[in-house]
Chains A and B, each alone.
Chain A
Amino acid sequence: MRETMVLRKNKNMVTRVIDDETILLPIYKTSDEINSIYTLNRVASRVWKLINGKRTLGEIKKQILKDFDTIPEEVSKEMAKFLKDLKEIKAVV
């Protein structure tokens, strides 16, 4: 994870809180066209909220460390995995 990197959200993806779970879904698809629904845990949904095309990944990581009771190594690992997933489904550019 490059901490100076800045990511932008794909405008065609939104999150919804359904049954206390945050899901990420493509909005311009019919339900027949959506194969999978992605569920975000608390850290991932906070990271998603913080991605705004301006904040660097380093700044987001700092914020996560403030918001959650966790250690830097854990956050780096979790964020790296989540960002890889997001890139794979083109949810961020």
Chain B
Amino acid sequence: MKTQPYNNFWQQIHDTARKKGTLLRVMLELTYNCNFKCKHCYVPQSYRKKKGELKTEEVFSILDQLKQIGCFYLGFTGGEPFVRKDIMDILRYAKRCGFEIIIYTNGSLIDEKMADELALLRPNKVDITIPAMSKDAFEKISGVSGSRDKVFNSIEFLHKRKVNLGFKSCVLKENETEIKEIQDFAASLGAPHRLDDLLSPRLDGSEEPYKYRGEMIKSREQDRPSVLDCRLSERDESPELITDNLFKCGVGVSQAAITPFGELKMCLMIDYPKYNILEGCLRNCWQRLKELTSDIKPDEKYQCNKCELEPYCKWCPAKAWLYNKTFTFCEPEGRGKAEQVRQLSNNI
């Protein structure tokens, strides 16, 4: 029996997956429903009313197929994964299949019993969104009274049981003055915190979320270095930097996403095309998605390779797609932010 350190194994399976086109990492949207009503949420309200989300057995079948084709890292997201009554069954099943899992959640529905079980299941991370520290700002964002206390109680349950935690926040008008406090809170629990100061349009292309964006860079001078950190940590999460490919994250090469209706798509943000796994099979859907992605090449609209702002820019083809349905467009919101970040790093 050959033994190798986990880090070597991690590097090796990412390298090989990239070479062979193995679907190694998948984000699985378990539902578009949610108990919160965040105005900036990229999931359109209309998506929540759609019928036909995956039944438990169908999720299991997809997990079996993912296992068979060599997927190893699974992220569960939504909507809110914990609104599903069968969420713990799904997590248990995924762990028994031998996946490494991360759960993305608003945290509000995790009770002590679930925390007990999560402590045994040992996901790589329970990644909780903290919209704000103050009750007022928190509940203005979530649109649900009592939600702040629920989330902070859950965090306590999980932290006490030594479940690995991560936190995440979007910079919004309501929380722009509380970002430092959120980061300090995360640090007090020894947990990483990621910041998104550049909201995405909704999956249906609506730019309404932009209306709610906060202006952290302008308003909180003392927090500036962490804005730069946030970009670095995002890159850390995507080990597969493929420089000659439009998709630097590994989409269509070794990573993809699955909708609550069992459709394989490129990533959470790219809602078209979608291949129905239950009608075909995962292996074929993945093959089609890979072929499609490899056909997407930089066109005349693509300027990033010559752009001075590139090192500061958080552009990705998904943002371009959401903005105007091409994969190469220089999205003005992102460009503006890149200019700000460049100025900032020149001043530091």
Contact = CB atoms under 8 A, between A and B. Distances in A.
A16 B67 CA distance: 8
Interface residues of A, number: 28
Contact of B72 (A16, A24, A82): A16
A25 to B, nearest CB: 6
B255 to A, nearest CB: 15
B6 A30 contact: no
Interface stretch (A36-44, A54-62, A69-77): A36-44
A1 interface: no
B307 interface: no
Contacts of B120: 28
Contact of A24 (B1, B121, B124): B1
B98 A14 contact: yes
A18 B1 contact: no
A17 B96 contact: no
A36 B6 contact: yes
B69 to A, nearest CB: 10
A30 B164 contact: yes
B67 A27 contact: no
B1 A85 contact: yes
A67 interface: no
B332 interface: no
Contacts of B95: 27-28
Nearest to B97: A14
A38 B3 contact: yes
Nearest to A32: B164
Contacts of B10: 31
B124 A31 contact: yes
Interface string B72-112: 10000000000000000000000111101000000000000
Given A27-B98, A28-B122, A31-B124, A19 B13 contact: yes
A36 B3 contact: yes
A18 to B, nearest CB: 5
Given A27-B96, A32-B164, A18 B70 contact: yes
Nearest to B101: A30
Given A16-B67, A19-B17, A32-B164, A38 B1 contact: yes
A48 B276 CA distance: 35
Most buried by B among A29, A31, A35, A40: A31
Nearest to B162: A30
Contacts of B124: 30-32
B225 to A, nearest CB: 26
B3 A37 contact: yes
B72 A18 contact: yes
A40 B20 contact: no
Contacts of A37: 3-6, 9
A9 B168 CA distance: 39
B2 interface: yes
B45 interface: no
B119 to A, nearest CB: 10
A25 B1 contact: no
15 contacts: A17-B70, A18-B72, A24-B1, A27-B95, A28-B120, A30-B100, A30-B124, A31-B100, A35-B5, A37-B5, A38-B3, A39-B2, A40-B1, A41-B1, A86-B1
Interface of A: 14-19, 23-25, 27-41, 44, 82, 85-86
Given A30-B164, A31-B100, 15 more contacts: A16-B67, A19-B13, A19-B16, A24-B1, A36-B3, A36-B6, A37-B3, A37-B4, A37-B5, A37-B6, A38-B3, A39-B2, A40-B1, A85-B1, A86-B1
A-B residue pairs, 4 tightest by C-beta:
A37-B9, A39-B2, A85-B1, A14-B98
